[in-house]
Amino acid sequence: MKRVLICAVLFSAASIAHAQNIAGDWQGTLKAGAAELRLVLHIAKNDDGSYKATLDSVDQGANGIPVTSISLKDSKLNLTIDAVHGTYEGKLSADASKIEGTWTQNQPLPLTLTRSAAAVKTEHKPAKPSDIDGAWLGTIDTGAAKLRVVFHITNFEDGLLATLDSLDQGANGIPATSVARDGAKLKVEVKSIGGVFEGKISADLSTIEGTWTQMGTSFPLALKRTKESGELERLPPSVQSSRIA
């Protein structure tokens, strides 16, 4: 009986040790109002049993952000990321498949991380350009200011991708979360700033007439192809007063 009991205790201890192993890739989404940011946490185990990690902010195009400190004790995970002044505290589930907790960066936000069999793609293989590949320039009139924006659309093997520049705010290369095209209809979501553009591509492929919506407010936005030359020069600082990006 004692021998059986000892074996059972050893088996239980081994199971707990395995369940506490958090090495691998974890995904989650931060939601702040209409804005959403997908995060990927990469955790690796050191030779001494401790952990190290990096963080990707997919929708901001920021990859490999170093995690300053990481600890796991009694199923409680603690992270500190000095580079972005952020912390995370969460609890690991019994089967080690989920971590529920709070991300704090200026304000606390709930964040649940789940194991990922395959990390979110951050590299894409180029494909033959589509008929709307290129730069598209438009102006958002907010009433308080007129802000020029440029959508850069590129076709890859896994579909269309885009980035957004807000020229008069100096915000460039904001990654779009998704680009969906259905015939002449185009929809570009930029969840990191809570924005979405929906428009109709003209028959001659020279303009896209539509609407920019951000944080519940919509503005008409007409895009036209641009060669990114002199017309993309920055406007004087006096007109750069409103905030879109």
pLDDT in tens, 152-211: 999 998 899 999 999 988 888 888 989 999 999 999 999 888 899 999 999 999 999 999
pLDDT (mean) for 27-31: 93
Residue 141 sits in the same domain as residue 223: yes
Q: What burial letters (b/e) apply to 162-196, b meaning 16+ CB within 10 Å?
A: bbbbbbbbeeeebbbbebeeeeeebebbbbbbbbb
Give the distance, in angstroms, between the CA of residue 7 and the centroid of all CA atoms in the same chain.
47
Residue finishing a domain among 116, 147, 174: 116
For residues 13 and 6, is the Cβ–Cβ distance under 8 A? no
Within a domain: 239: no
- Tell me what pLDDT residue 142 has: 87
pLDDT band for position 131 (cuts 50, 70, 90):
very high
**Using one digit for the tens of pLDDT, what is the confidence trace for 208-243?**
999 999 988 999 999 999 975 445 554 444 344 344
Within a domain: 242: no
- Tell me what pLDDT residue 229 has: 45
Residue 156 sits in the same domain as residue 194: yes
- Tell me what pLDDT residue 228 has: 59
Residue 36 sits in the same domain as residue 106: yes
**Using one digit for the tens of pLDDT, what is the confidence trace for 35-66?**
888 999 999 999 998 999 999 988 887 888 99
Within a domain: 10: no
Residue 141 sits in the same domain as residue 172: yes
Higher pLDDT among residues 117 and 104, named by residue: 104
- Tell me what pLDDT residue 123 has: 67
130: β partners = none
Please state the domain count of the chain. Answer: 2
- Tell me what pLDDT residue 7 has: 37
Within a domain: 103: yes
Residue 215 sits in the same domain as residue 149: yes
Residue finishing a domain among 71, 88, 116: 116
Q: Which strands form 62-66's sheet, in the order they lie side by side?
A: 62-66, 51-57, 35-45, 24-32, 107-116, 98-105, 86-92, 76-81, 69-73
pLDDT (mean) for 60-76: 91
Within a domain: 235: no
Residue 112 sits in the same domain as residue 173: no
Residue 143 sits in the same domain as residue 95: no
For residue 53, give Cα distances in angstroms to 25, 26, 27, 91: 10, 11, 13, 17
Q: Which of 18-27, 110-119, 157-166, 168-177 has the lowest mean pLDDT?
A: 18-27
CA-to-CA distance for 71 and 9, rounded, in angstroms? 26
Burial grade of 94 (CB within 10 A; 0-12, 13-18, 19 or more)? exposed
Chain mean pLDDT for the chain: 84
Kindly give the pairing relationship between strand 195-201 and strand 185-190.
antiparallel
Residue 138 sits in the same domain as residue 225: yes
Within a domain: 52: yes
Residue 102 sits in the same domain as residue 156: no
End-to-end CA distance of the chain: 68
For residue 39, give the CATH number of its domain. 2.40.128.120
Within a domain: 121: no
Residue 106 sits in the same domain as residue 148: no
pLDDT band for position 120 (cuts 50, 70, 90):
low
Residue 216 sits in the same domain as residue 147: yes
Which residues span the domain enclosing 190?
A: 134-229
pLDDT (mean) for 85-89: 95
Within a domain: 4: no
